[in-house]
A and B are shown apart, each in its own frame.
Chain A
Amino acid sequence: MFTQVLQRLCRSIDFVVMLAGYFASFLMPFLAAIVAYEVFSRYFLNHPTIWAFDLSLFLFGYIAALGGAYAQQKKAHINVDILYLKVSPHTRRVFNLFSYSLAIFFLVLVVKLGFEKYEEAIEFDYRTQSEWAPPMFHFWIMMCVASVLFIAQFSRDMVAEIYHLVTGNPLIAPENDDNDEY
C-alpha cells in the first residue's frame, strides 16, 4: 500500500518533469527560426527586427532552465565518476543522497531568490534594456517553476534511493531504455 503510494508519486513527478522537458525541446526549432529570421530580415529585407534579440534570449533561458529536471530524470547531468563507478551500488545510493541534498539546497535558494526577483519585477515593472523592452517577470516565474520541478525530481530520486536502501528492492523496476536517446 505504502509502496504503491510512493510509486504513484514518483510516476506523477516523472510525468510532469517529462512534459516540461518535452516543452523545452519543442522551443528549440523556434529559437533557431527566430535567429535565422533576424538574419534574413536584416540582410535581405534590410530591416532588422527589434524583438528577435530579446525573444531568442528568452527562449534560450526557457530551454536551458526547464530542461534541467528532465536531464536529471535521464541521469544526463555530468559528474566526476572516478570513485563513484568503483564503489558498490549500495554505497553509490548513499553518495547520491548527499549529492542530491546539496543540489536541492542550491535549488531551494534559486526558488526563494527567483520569487523575490519576480515580486520586484512586478513592483517596478522591470523590462529588458532594449528598444522593444519586453517585461522580465515571466522569466523569474519560469526560473522558479524550473527549479521546483528540478527539486521534485531530486526528491523523487532520493525517495527511490532511500526505499531501495531500506527494503533492498528498487521502488520502480528500471526500464530498459537506451540512455543515448532521450
Chain B
Amino acid sequence: MSIELLTGILLLCILVAFALGAPVGLALAGIAMGVGYMTWGDGIFNVIPTTVEATFFSFILLAIPLYIYMGQLLTKSGIGDAMFNASQMVLGKVRGSLAISVICVCSMIGAMVGIIGAGIMTSGSIALRPMLERGYNKRLALGVIMAGGGLGILIPPSIPMIMFAASTQNSVGRMFLAAMVPALITVVLLIAYVVVSCRLNPDRAPITKADFDNQQLSPMAKMRVARDGFLSILLIVVVLGSIISGIATPTESGAIGVVGAILLAIVFKRFKLDMFRAAGLQTGVLVSVAMWIILGASVFSNFHLLMGVQAMVADFTDTLDLPPIMIIIMFQVIMLLLGFIIDEFIIVLMCAPLFTPIAVSLGYDPIWFGVLMIINILIAVQTPPYGFALFYLKGIAPPEVGMGEIYKSVTPFILLNLTVLIICMVFPELVLWLPNLVMN
C-alpha cells in the first residue's frame, strides 16, 4: 500500500472514531494498531513498549504533573482567587479586567513553563472559575485561557524552541531572543482584542457586584486583598526566580511552585488535609488523561513515521517548483495541516530538519524560520479536530462545555495568532532585531 493511500485511510478512520465520540488517545492508538496489523503484521505491536518508555519516562513531560499540581493547589487553596481579586482591585472597573488579568498572569506563567499543556492547565484552573462566576461570556473566558496558556511555548523558555534549535543546529539563545518581540506583539494583540471586543459587546464581560465589592472595600480589607495578591505574585517570582538564578531547571521549578503553594495556603490559613487530598486526586486524573492521550497519539505517529510519512512530505515539497516566499508559505500550510493530526513535538522533530535547510538555501534566516514554525505550532495545537491545547482545555472546562463550544471559542484567538504569523513573515526584522542587537 502506498503511504498516500495509508494516510488517507488513517485520516478516514480517525474522522469516524472522533465523530463517534471515542476517547481521543486510545482511539488513535487503536486505529494505528488495527491498520498496522493489516498492513504490517503483528510485528507493528512492538511499537507499543518503545513508545510507552519514551512517553511515560520523559523528563521533559515531568513538567506536566508538577505544573498541574501547582495549578490545582493554587485554585483549591484560594491563592488563585487572591491573585485575581488583587488584579481586579488594580484594574478596577475596566470592562473585561479579569480576562486581561488572565493574559497578564498567563504571560508570567508562560515565562516559567516551556510546554503548552502545563500553561493551559495552570492558568485554566486558576482563572476559569472566577470568570464564569462573574458572568463572563463562556467563549471569551475559554478562548482567553487557551490563548494565554499557549504563550507557554511562545515566551521563552520553550521546549519546542529548544527542539528546533537542537535539530537544526541553531542557537537556543538566539531563538529565545527572537521570539521575544513576536510574543510581546501577541500579548498586546490579545489584550487589545479583549478590550475592544468587551467595549463593543459589553455583555461579554459584565461588571458585577464583585467588581464593586472590590472597589468599595474598607481600607483594611483593601490592604488584605493587596497583601494576599502580593504574596501570590511572589510565588510566581519565586518560581521564575528559581529558574533565572540557577536554583532549578524549568521542569523542577514546578515542584518549587508546589512547595510554595502549600506554604502560601498555610499562611492564608486555608490549608486543610481535605483540600490537599482533593488537589492530588484531581491532578492524578488530569495527568492520566493527558498522558494516555500523549501515549496514544505517539503510538499513532510512530506507526505513521515508521511507514514513511516523512518521506512523503519531503517528496511533495521537492517536486513543486515555486518562488521562494511561496515555498515558505507552503511550508506553513503543510505544518498547519499536519497540526490537524499530530502533536507539536512531532511537528518540530519532523519538519524542522526537513524544511529549515531549504529555507536557508532560499536565503532566509533559519532563526526567523524557526520562530514562524513555533507560531505555526501554537496555531496547530489550537485547531480542531486534533489539538492538544483543545484537549487540555476540555479537561479543565466544566462538564457542560462541549467540544463544539471550545472550537468556537478559540476562533478569534487563532486569527490573532495567524495575524502575528503573517506580520512576522512580512517583517522579518521584528524577529531578528533583538537577537542581532544582543548577540552580534
Question: Which residues of A approach B to under 8 Å, CB–CB?
Answer: 21-22, 24-29, 31-33, 35-36, 38-39, 43, 53, 56-57, 60-61, 63-68, 70-72, 74, 76-85, 92, 95-96, 98-99, 102-103, 105-107, 109-110, 112-114, 116-117, 139-140, 143, 179-182
Q: Interface residues, chain B, CB within 8 Å of chain A? A: 17-27, 29-31, 33-34, 45-46, 48-49, 52, 56-59, 61-62, 65-66, 69, 242, 247-248, 251-252, 254-256, 258-259, 276-278, 280-293, 296, 299, 384-385, 391, 394-395, 398-399, 402-404, 407
Q: Which residue of B lies closest to A112 (CB)?
A: B45
- Interface centre among A24, A28, A38, A110, by most chain B C-beta atoms within 10 angstroms, is A28
Cβ of A143 and Cβ of B52 under 8 Å apart?
yes
Contact residues in A for B407 (Cβ distance below 8 Å): 82
Contact with B247, one of A43, A79, A83 (Cβ below 8 angstroms): A43
The answer to whether residues A92 and B284 also contact, given A36-B256, A99-B27, A102-B31 and a CB cut-off of 8 A, is no
Measured between beta carbons, the chain B residues less than 8 angstroms from A95 are 20-22
- Give the Cβ gap from B71 to chain A, nearest Cβ, in Å: 12
User: Would A182 and B49 count as touching, CB distance under 8 A?
Assistant: no
Measured CA separation A56–B258 after assembly (Å): 15
Measured between beta carbons, the chain B residues less than 8 angstroms from A61 are 56-57
Distance between Cα atoms of A80 and B322 in the complex (Å): 37
Q: Is the interface of B mostly helix, strand, loop or mixed?
A: helix
Whether B46 contacts A63 by the Cβ 8 Å rule is: no
Closest to B276 in A: A29
List 23 interface pairs A-B (beta carbons < 8 Å), by A numbering.
Answer: A22-B281, A24-B288, A26-B280, A28-B287, A35-B66, A36-B258, A43-B247, A43-B248, A60-B56, A68-B292, A71-B285, A77-B24, A78-B391, A81-B402, A99-B23, A102-B17, A103-B22, A106-B33, A109-B33, A109-B45, A179-B399, A181-B278, A181-B282
Chain A residue nearest in CB terms to B282: A182
How long is the Cα–Cα vector from A37 to B278 in the complex, in angstroms? 23
Report the separation of the CA atoms of residues A72 and B287 in the bound assembly, to the nearest whole angstrom: 13
Contact present for B24 and A35 (CB under 8 Å): no
Closest-by-CB residue of B relative to A67 is B288
For B293, what are the chain A residues with a Cβ–Cβ distance below 8 Å?
A: 78
Q: Contacts of A96 on B, CB cut-off 8 Å?
A: 21
Task: State which of B30, B254, B255, B280 has its C-beta within 8 Å of the C-beta of A103.
Answer: B30
Does the CB pair A98–B45 fall under 8 Å? no
Once the chains bind, are A32 and B255 in contact (CB under 8 Å)? yes
CA distance A166 to B279 in the complex (A): 39
In the A-B complex, list the 5 residue pairs whose CB atoms are closest, starting with the nearest. A84-B21, A67-B288, A25-B284, A99-B22, A64-B291
The answer to whether B255 touches A35 (Cβ under 8 A) is yes
Give which listed residue, B24, B33, B284, B285, contacts A105 with CB less than 8 A. B33
Q: Nearest-CB distance from A148 to chain B (Å)? A: 15
